[in-house]
């Protein structure tokens, strides 16, 4: 598949993830009487990945996440020469999704976007969890997510079930970690809304690049050892 096709697929898939996942948090989570709550937001993130893995996975591999791309590269399942291009496409896609969401969210009188589904720790954590707790949860949850991805897409696995496993895994991750960091496990997802909010969201953004990339890299290396047959 030509690289341009794959980059567009990563752009589109990441835009869908941010629009659907963050959109559920910004527009629907706290809506009076019909609010979907944390569980609904967790399911929305899972569904965005599930749908796009099946739709665009055959084109680009369905990463939609710099931590996944880096993890697959460490696991020798993706070429290092294409990592930067994939990450740029993912970040731009996330920004596009956040821009659409921003237009919609501010499209009524007296609109207040609040935190705009940004990630944070300390005073900017939904449950006021500190830096250490935020770092640990992001590393561990990204490790689990990338492990599921590399295992579910292994040549020995059932390919048709990969999207379901990946989507349900992301749902589970959000159910656990929304109170801690509002759940990142994806630097592109964290960067996009932070650019529209600024302030503390940008000041703390470094963690939501470092921790997921570390977790993804460890997962890629660990699964490479786990799956060895010699």
Alpha-carbon torsion, ordered 12, 16, 18, 24, to 10 deg? 170
Tokens 């294409």 belong to residue: 82
- Give the predicted TM-score (pTM) of the model: 0.95
Percent of the chain predicted with pLDDT > 70:
97
Look up the CATH number of domain 3-106+117-226. 1.20.1080.10
pLDDT at 88 over 70: yes
The predicted pLDDT at position 156 comes to 82
The residues, ordered by sequence, that sit 6+ positions from 192 with a Cβ below 8 Å of its Cβ are 18, 22, 91, 94, 95, 97, 98
* Predicted local distance difference test score (pLDDT) of residue 31: 75
Rounded distance, CA 98 to CA 137, Å? 24
230 confidence band (pLDDT: 50, 70, 90): low
> Using an 8 Å Cβ cutoff, are 123 and 129 in contact?
no
Q: Looking at 3-17, 38-52, 146-160, 203-217, which range is the least confident one?
A: 146-160
C-alpha distances out from residue 135 to 55, 125, 200, 224, Å: 32, 12, 16, 24
CA distance 7 to 123: 36
> Are residues 138 and 181 in contact, defined by beta-carbon separation less than 8 angstroms?
yes
Instruction: Take residue 46 and report the two structure tokens written for it.
Output: 């899972």
178 neighbors 126 (Cβ within 8 angstroms): yes
Give the HSE-up count for residue 165: Cα atoms under 13 Å, Cβ half-sphere.
17
Q: What are phi and psi of 226, to 5 degrees?
A: -65, -40
Return the domain boundaries, the chain.
3-106+117-226
The span from the CA of 226 to the CA of 184, in Å, is 26
DSSP one-letter code for 22: I
Examine the pLDDT at 104 and tell me if it is beyond 90: yes
- pLDDT one-digit tens code per residue, 14-48: 999 999 999 999 998 877 666 789 999 999 999 99
- Closest to 57 (Cα-Cα) out of 1, 9, 3: 9
- Return the closest-CA partner of residue 118 out of 132, 141, 134, 139: 134
Q: Which of 111-115, 161-165, 204-208 has the lowest mean pLDDT?
A: 111-115
**Band (1; pLDDT cuts 50, 70, 90):** confident
Q: Residue 227: is its pLDDT beyond 90? A: no
For residue range 154-193, what is the model confidence (pLDDT) as tens digits? 888 788 899 999 999 999 999 999 999 999 999 999 999 9
């Amino acid at each position: 598949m030509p690289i341009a096709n794959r980059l567009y697929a990563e752009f589109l898939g990441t835009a869908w993830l941010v629009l659907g996942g963050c959109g559920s948090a910004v527009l629907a989570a706290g809506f009076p009487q019909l609010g979907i709550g944390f569980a609904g937001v967790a399911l929305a993130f899972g569904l965005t990945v599930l749908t796009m893995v099946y739709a665009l996975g055959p084109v680009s591999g369905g990463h939609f996440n710099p931590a996944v791309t880096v993890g697959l590269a460490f696991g020798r399942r993706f070429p290092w020469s294409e990592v930067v291009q994939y990450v740029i496409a993912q970040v731009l896609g996330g920004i596009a999704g956040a821009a659409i969401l921003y237009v919609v969210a501010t499209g009524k009188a007296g609109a207040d976007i609040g935190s705009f589904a940004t990630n944070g720790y300390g005073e900017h954590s939904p449950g006021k969890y500190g830096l250490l707790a935020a770092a640990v949860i992001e590393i561990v949850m990204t490790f689990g997510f990338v492990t599921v991805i590399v295992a579910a897409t292994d040549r020995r696995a059932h390919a048709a079930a990969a999207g379901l496993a990946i989507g349900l895994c992301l749902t589970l991750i959000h159910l656990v970690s929304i109170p801690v960091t509002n759940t990142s496990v994806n630097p592109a997802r964290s960067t996009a809304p932070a650019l529209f909010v600024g302030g503390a969201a940008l000041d703390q953004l470094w963690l939501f690049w470092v921790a997921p990339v570390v977790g993804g890299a460890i997962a890629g290396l660990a699964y490479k050892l786990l799956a060895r047959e010699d």
